[in-house]
Amino acid sequence: MDRPGIHGIVLVPEFGRGLTSNGGDGTVTAFDIKTLKATSKLESCGVPDAILHHSVSGRVFTYNHKTHDASVIDAVSGSVVGTIAFDSEPEAAVAAGAI
Segment 30-66, tens digit of pLDDT: 999 999 999 999 988 789 999 999 988 889 999 999 9
Cα(50)–Cα(93) distance, rounded to whole angstroms? 7
- Predicted confidence at residue 55, as pLDDT, reads 86
User: Is a pLDDT exceeding 60 seen at residue 99?
Assistant: no
From the candidate CATH numbers 3.40.50.2300, 1.10.3720.10, 3.40.430.10, 2.40.10.480, the one assigned to the domain spanning 6-85: 2.40.10.480
User: Is a pLDDT exceeding 90 seen at residue 71?
Assistant: yes
For the entire predicted model, the pTM comes to 0.88
Query: Beta strand pairing status for 80-85 and 17-22?
Result: unpaired
Domain ranges across the chain: 6-85
Cα(44)–Cα(70) distance, rounded to whole angstroms? 9
CA atoms within 13 A on the CB side of 90: 23
The residue with greater pLDDT, 1 or 50, is 50
Collapsed DSSP state (helix, strand, coil) of residue 99:
coil
The chain-wide mean pLDDT, for the chain, equals 89
Cα(59)–Cα(73) distance, rounded to whole angstroms? 6
Q: What angle do CA 68, 71, 75 make, to 5 degrees?
A: 155
- Predicted confidence at residue 18, as pLDDT, reads 94
- Predicted confidence at residue 75, as pLDDT, reads 87
